[in-house]
């Protein structure tokens, strides 16, 4: 029963992921400033997570109806991408100096700390999925905020500030 539900969620998450990836790919061909290879790959992954967080944010602001299944699907999707983050920042010339990258060089001086943020992301998004399944909305909102904090903490430390 739980397994079936999980499989269903993964299917939804995959469908959502593919849809967002397609949308992201079409929208960001130019926005990414001509990024290629691993830089483009990680930008696409980040965009998918950004889209998922934006949708959840809209839900918590009451702009969209609360939907526990959708929260779980988004959390699973974020978790999948969180697992890929360490691999998407290899210590290579392309990765460090690829066109349009906003990754700071300090990533490769502190790779363990960087990867730990990705692990935190995975843990918090999994917790979000579990808590959404339990149904107490206040707790779900708090866990959403905790998850969002990991995104910004990593960006503050490792991504060029917006100009």
Longest CA–CA separation in the chain, Å: 49
Query: Shortest gap between Cβ of 46 and ligand HEC (angstroms)?
Result: 3
Q: In the complex, which residues of this chain contact ligand HEC (CB under 6 A)?
A: 28, 32, 39, 42-43, 46-47, 49-50, 53, 78, 85, 101-103, 114, 117-118, 121, 150-151, 154-155, 158-159
Q: Per the annotation, does 155 bind a ligand?
A: yes
Give the Cβ contact number of residue 64 at 10 Å: 13
Contact status, residue 132 vs residue 68, Cβ threshold 8 Å: yes
Query: Shortest gap between Cβ of 51 and ligand HEC (angstroms)?
Result: 8
Q: What are phi and psi for residue 99, nearest 5 degrees?
A: -55, 135
Query: Shortest gap between Cβ of 2 and ligand HEC (angstroms)?
Result: 25
Contact status, residue 147 vs residue 128, Cβ threshold 8 Å: yes
Binding residues for heme c: 151, 154-155
Binding residues: 151, 154-155
């Amino acid at each position: 029963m739980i397994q079936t539900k999980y499989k269903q969620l993964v299917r939804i998450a995959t469908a959502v992921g593919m849809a967002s990836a397609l949308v992201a790919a079409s929208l960001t061909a130019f926005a990414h400033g001509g990024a290629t290879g691993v830089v483009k790959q990680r930008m696409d992954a980040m965009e998918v997570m950004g889209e998922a967080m934006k949708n959840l944010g809209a839900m918590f602001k009451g702009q969209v109806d609360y939907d526990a299944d959708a929260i779980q699907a988004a959390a699973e999707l974020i978790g999948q991408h969180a697992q890929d983050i360490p691999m998407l920042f290899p210590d290579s010339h392309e990765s460090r100096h690829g066109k349009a990258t906003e990754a700071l060089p300090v990533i490769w001086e502190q790779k363990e700390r960087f990867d730990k943020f990705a692990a935190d992301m995975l843990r918090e998004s999994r917790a979000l999925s579990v808590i959404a399944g339990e149904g107490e909305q206040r707790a779900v909102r708090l866990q959403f905020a905790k998850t969002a904090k990991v995104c910004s903490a990593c960006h503050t430390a490792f991504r060029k500030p917006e100009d």
